[in-house]
Amino acid sequence: MNSILLQNLQKHIVLTEKELQYFFSSFEVKNIKKREFLLREGNISRGLAFITNGLLRSYSVDKNGFEHVIQFAPEDWWVVDMYSFVKDQPARLFIDALENTEYLWLSKMNLQNLYLELPQLEHYFRVLAENSVITYQNRLINNLSLPALERYHNFCSQYPSLIQSLPQKQVASYIGVTPEFLSKMLSTIK
Amino acid sequence: MNSILLQNLQKHIVLTEKELQYFFSSFEVKNIKKREFLLREGNISRGLAFITNGLLRSYSVDKNGFEHVIQFAPEDWWVVDMYSFVKDQPARLFIDALENTEYLWLSKMNLQNLYLELPQLEHYFRVLAENSVITYQNRLINNLSLPALERYHNFCSQYPSLIQSLPQKQVASYIGVTPEFLSKMLSTIK
DNA sequence: CGTCTATTTGAATGTACTCAAAAGCGGTGG
DNA sequence: CCACCGCTTTTGAGTACATTCAAATAGACG
């Protein structure tokens, strides 16, 4: 019974010991190494990953081959290509590991059974989805209204711990500029 | 018992006649006229609106006074400032009417009671939130990877009915360019 | 070490914006 | 029902933020 996921869960719902047993038995502990893939564009995302250690990232690749980071997923975060997972359609995202990572894997089938057995999980995942909406909406507003340098500062203050472990290139990709341009911006403010 | 909302609901969950009664009794029918506000930045969003007729839009205003459309909400759509509603914090968005609009209002208090009485609604709103995540994620990818003209074409094919009733200025604001620039783009392709 | 990738720097370019002004369009009141 | 007012759309010239391409430098990892 993983303590990180347990704490995360208990922020939102209360389960009995027995229910917790069942909940955790639906997960599989997995590991991937740096640079390995959890999901590739075109494949179908057949489950959710909860990160217990390490760092994943999801990103799309445009037709010119440029990567655009959608999300960084450090410890205590869920990650999935929601579109692919919900609609059973080919993924638009890649998910790979920026560091060696341990995660808990919950297959769609297991999740569906969990929803039937433990309806409180509908609440848990509703709240997660709503928070995700808030995050995306906020990022969209930033992208539409702020210049690149302010988006960078926002990122730093929002994810102070991430900024230390991320290559600058990845941050550039997240805030939506080229690595060259981020480098030039940073050289002007120091 | 509004038929548009009923159909929307029944796509996802099944309620008995009595449950439906209770569900619909939690709503209030409201109207606002073109150019009136449902929510202003700084106020707290105390409920959800389901549009039964007309057209609303949510948008943020940046420090230079420019508007950025976050969502258009025609008939059969829900609209809310999720951040403000969930966290009980001052809204970052304005919501106003582009046309005279009729909507069903569900206060946060009524929704919380509904969750207690009809737990299936957790499922309904979870699915809505997940779809919202998918939409925002898709829009984010577009904004990061496509030039303005393709974002325009995407918008047209995604919302073919909206495009007819919207002033060009509003579309420009949604895809993230100035009205002048949209006008110039369109003049080059015709 | 040596190789591979990330970062920096520079010059040229492009996409989209700003500001200004004219033209078009719709709603409202006389 | 037409005239006017305000807002939207168009058009143009100048500008800015960010990209592209290229090359040099620095860092990380085996």
Dump pLDDT digits (tens) for B16-55: 999 999 999 999 999 999 999 999 999 999 999 999 999 9
Cα gap A177→A129, rounded to integer Å: 27
Å separating the CA of residue A175 from the C1' of nucleotide D6: 39
Q: What is the pLDDT of residues B88-102, one digit of tens each?
A: 999 999 999 999 999
Q: Is the CB of B150 less than 7 A from some atom of nucleic acid strand C?
A: no
- Taking CA–CA distances from A175, the nearest residue in chain B reads B144
Residue type, A148: A
The burial of A189, by beta-carbon neighbours within 10 Å (0-12 exposed, 13-18 middle, 19 or more buried), is given as exposed
Where residue A102 falls among pLDDT bands split at 50, 70, 90? very high
Q: What is the pLDDT of residue B80?
A: 98
Domains and CATH numbers, chain A: 3-118 (2.60.120.10)
Q: What is the pLDDT of residue B190?
A: 62
Q: What is the pLDDT of residues A110-119, one digit of tens each?
A: 999 999 999 9
Where residue A150 falls among pLDDT bands split at 50, 70, 90? very high
pTM: 0.95
- Written as six digits, the tokens of A134 are 């808030």
Q: What is the pLDDT of residue A189?
A: 76
Q: Which helix (H) or strand (E) holds A68?
A: strand A67-74
- What is the pLDDT of chain B when averaged over all its residues? 96
What separation in angstroms does the CA of B23 have from each of A30, B111, B165? 43, 9, 32
The burial of A173, by beta-carbon neighbours within 10 Å (0-12 exposed, 13-18 middle, 19 or more buried), is given as buried
A132 vs B66, B119, B133: nearest CB = B133
Residues 108-127 of A with CB under 8 A from B: 115, 119, 122-123, 125-126
Q: What is the pLDDT of residue A1?
A: 87
Q: Which helix (H) or strand (E) holds B130?
A: helix B120-145
Q: Is the CB of A187 less than 7 A from some atom of nucleic acid strand C?
A: yes
Q: What is the pLDDT of residues A58-88, one digit of tens each?
A: 999 999 999 999 999 999 999 999 999 999 9
- Taking CA–CA distances from B135, the nearest residue in chain A reads A83
Cα gap B46→B88, rounded to integer Å: 8
Q: What is the pLDDT of residue A112?
A: 98
